[in-house]
Structures are given as C-alpha cells and as structure tokens.
Amino acid sequence: MQSRLAVQQIRTFTGLRTGVNVRTLTNPIPGKTPNIVSADEALAVVQSGDNVYIHCAPSTPTDLLKALARHVEKNGLSNVRTHHLLTTGEVPWTDPKFAGKIRSNCFFVCSNLRPLVNTGKADYTPIFLQDTIKVLDDKVKPVDVSLVTVSPPDSHGYCSIGVNVDMASAACRNAKYVIGAMNKSQPKTFGDTFIHASQFHALVETDVPLPEVPSGKGTPEEAAIGKLIAENLVDDYATLQLGIGSIPDNVLKLLIGHKDIGIHTELLCTGVMSLIEAGVVTNSRKSIDVGKCVTSFAMGNRKFYDLLNDNTAFVFASAAYTNNFNVIAAQSRMTAINSAIEIDLAGQIVSDTIGKNYYSGFGGQVDFINAAAQAADGKGKAIIALPSRTHKGQTKIVPYIKEGAGVVTTRAHTHYVVTEFGIANLFGKSVRQRAYELIKIAHPDDREALDKAAFARFGVAPSRD
C-alpha cells in the first residue's frame, strides 16, 4: 500500500495545504497595500517578447485579454507569447491583425484557438497535465506576467484563484508580475488557491459572470455507455475520476444506488451535485483526503459554482498533486473514466487529434489511466469510453489510426474499453485477442469489415484464444 508519509510529502511539495512553494504568494507583504487600477493600466507592464500566462476555462480573464490586445495594438508590441490550457469567451488575437504580435501556445487546444493551431498561427504543446507544473517551475516556459481571475479579498486580504488551480498556482508563483481580475462571480475555494492582495502587481475590478457549462442528456448511445459503466465497472466505495460531458454525466446519474463514493479528479463537473445531495458521494472511504472532493479545476452551472463557494468539503489542488501517480494509485478502488476520438484494433487510443488536425490535448488521461490500473489496493479500473461511431456514421474502432493522428494512451495502458454495445477488457490480451474483443463492441454494421481488416493487418483471424 502506498505509504501515507509519501503522499504527505507529495502534498507538501505541490502546495496542497501548507506547501513551501506557495508561501511567497500567500503571506502579506508588510506595509504594501493592494494596487487597484484599470485593466489598461495593469497591462501596461507587458513588453514585446514577454511570456504571458492566462488563467483558463471559466476563469479566463476576458477583460484582461481585451486590455492586453489594446495595449499591444496601441504601442506596437510584437512577439508576445501567451501560454494556457483551454480558454473560454473572446480571445481578441484570433483576429488576423494580431499575427506576429500575439501568439498563443496551447497546452490544451480549445474551440476558439483550434483554427489558429491547425493553420500554424498558434502553437500546441503536447504534455501530461501534471507536467505543466514542472514546465513552469523549471522555467522551460518562463512566465513574465500571469493574468488570473480571483475572488475579491476576504476580511484578511486574501483572494482565491477559484475554480481553476490546475497550473495557475504555479504560474503565479513563477511570474515576475501577477495581475488579478477581482470578480465577484469567482468562487472562494480552498486548497492551493490563496494569494494575498498585497502580492499582486495590480488588481483590476471586474464583473464578468463565469461561463456556465450546462449538463446535457447526450445521445442514446452515450446514455447506454453510462449505464454499462455505472452498473458493471463502478463499485461501492470507489474513488472516481471523471471528465466533463454527457458520458460522465450519465455515469453519475446512474450511481444513485451506490454507497460512499469518493472523488479524486482533475476536473469536477455539475453532475456530482445530485450525488452529494443524495448522500452517495461522501468521500468517507477514501484512503487519503478523507471527507474531501479533490480536484484541480471545475466547470459547471451557476448553482454548482455557488456550491463550491466557501465550501471546505472541496479541495482545489495543483495538477502536480491531483495527477501525481502515487496520489492516484493510493486512492481506494480508483476508477478512472476517460474518452477517446478513435481506437485501433491493437488498442492504441487517439484523444487529441482528428487525423492531422489538433483537436484537444493530453490533459490527465494518461496520468489517471496509468495510475488507476496500478492502484495499490489492486482494485483500480482504467476505462476508456466512446460511442462506436461518429455523428457522421464512421466507425471509431478502426484497423489503423488515421494518418497524422497522435497516440495519447498506448496499447499497454489500455484496459477497459466501453461502447454502447458492450465492454472489452484488453488487459493481458494478445493483439488478435484485442481485435476480437474490440470488434465485438463495434457497431454491428462495421464488424464484418473490421474482421477482414484485422486479418489483413495481423495475418491471422481475430480470436478469443
């Protein structure tokens, strides 16, 4: 069993509770008062050639991004590089007039930057989410200025970086200048989240509602996948890692009869609310962080954000902690559920590309799939869930991955694969056994063609033996 001492050492290193890495940004600076200015005044610090970190997802500081664009355009700046995970809302430099002036480097490709990445006008860095912290701490990607959305200071002067800690805490502690957009919509969260107001180079008052991600029913196929996972692969007392979308939402809806579920994830979504209210998610059987939902970031609706606000039952930690192998593997009955774009007959998982085009990113898929499969209690499960076909009717279980596509999860990492037609367990199976199991859960109309393709590829018919 993973020792509690080792996990505590990881906590300290990554700054989950009282880690040394965040002290420089949590303690007040004696005699220094907060510097509250306009967005344009705050962004005047940016110079040509600077590296700027941007808070991600619901916490994207849109007012600061607009001010950055105005500053660059007005003062003729060039080669300003922004680094970030996925962003929401308006990103001004998608306008062609900013070519050569501002260039994004995406650690996770999102819809508003996807066209630029795929036309060479923005960059994509493939990376495990946990390693984004090391990239910043080791100055592989230096940070001159960090732009973050924070809650207004509390009575002691502390602001919270809210629902997106992920790599934001590391970006703040490594930046020369930290600029905060004080937004009353940003929840006050606990964990690796607090920065004293005196530590900011500048604070900007803003009032932009956090973007909401509504829950969706999804397709009948996704509902069927959720049912298969909930009824066959999630045990009572399991600790879950779930992403966002209709498949995770459908899994959560069907766990209402389960007992004492725990949450340790990189992303927390609205679907967990009903299980908390029903007493299903208690976190009481977790091996570590007992009684706490632990996450790196959260996305959901306003009611969900209100639940997270000032709530000590939720801990927001750096991705260096949430996605650390030893921390994940130490969890009780760790069950990781992730998605894919396509899978080949040998079990290679494509999750960040569609052929030659970049679509998303590595995120924490491999972090969790690898660690869950090797959980210390021997009861972990690593699950990949995907519909058997695309919305255009093309099979997602393929003889070969598309030309130019990138493998995120390797054949050796892949264990459970779930479509609406069933569950395939690939662990320990030969290539022809894998092909056999995957063809069984492909769309019935695709199975004959896949069977022939498997024979052509492997020189032998797929077989259960």
Q: Locate the domains of the chain by residue range.
A: 16-206, 220-458
Q: Would you give per-residue pLDDT tens digits along the chain (465 residues)?
A: 344 444 444 444 344 433 333 335 778 888 888 899 999 999 999 999 999 999 999 999 999 999 999 999 999 999 999 999 999 999 999 999 999 999 999 999 999 999 999 999 999 999 999 999 999 999 999 999 999 999 999 999 999 999 999 999 999 999 999 999 999 999 999 999 999 999 999 999 999 999 998 876 789 999 999 999 999 999 999 999 987 778 888 899 999 999 999 999 999 999 999 999 999 999 999 999 999 999 999 999 999 999 999 999 999 999 999 999 999 999 999 999 999 999 999 999 999 999 999 999 999 999 999 999 999 999 999 999 999 999 999 999 999 999 999 999 999 999 999 999 999 999 999 999 999 999 999 999 999 999 999 999 999 988 888
Q: Is 266 a catalytic residue?
A: yes
Q: Percent helix, strand and coil across the chain, each rounded to 5?
A: 30, 20, 50
Distance in angstroms (rounded) separating the CA atoms of residues 360 and 364: 12
Q: In terms of C-beta density within 10 A (0-12 exposed, 13-18 middle, 19 or more buried), how is residue 207 classed?
A: exposed
Q: What is the pLDDT of residue 24?
A: 52
CB 365 within 8 A of CB 408: yes
Distance in angstroms (rounded) separating the CA atoms of residues 26 and 194: 6
Which of 266, 342, 420, 437 does the annotation list as catalytic?
A: 266
Distance in angstroms (rounded) separating the CA atoms of residues 400 and 376: 34
Same fold, 16-206 and 220-458: yes
Query: Which one-letter DSSP state was computed for residue 234?
Result: P
| Consecutive H or E run containing 18 | none
Task: State the architecture of 16-206 in CATH terms.
Answer: 3-Layer(aba) Sandwich (3.40)
Distance in angstroms (rounded) separating the CA atoms of residues 137 and 131: 10
Task: State the architecture of 220-458 in CATH terms.
Answer: 3-Layer(aba) Sandwich (3.40)
Residues belonging to the chain: 465
> Would you state the torsion angle of the CA atoms of residues 326, 327, 333, 336, taken in this order, to the nearest 10 degrees?
-90
> What global pTM score does this model have?
0.93
Q: How far is CA 198 from CA 17, 24, 33, 285, in A?
A: 21, 11, 6, 40
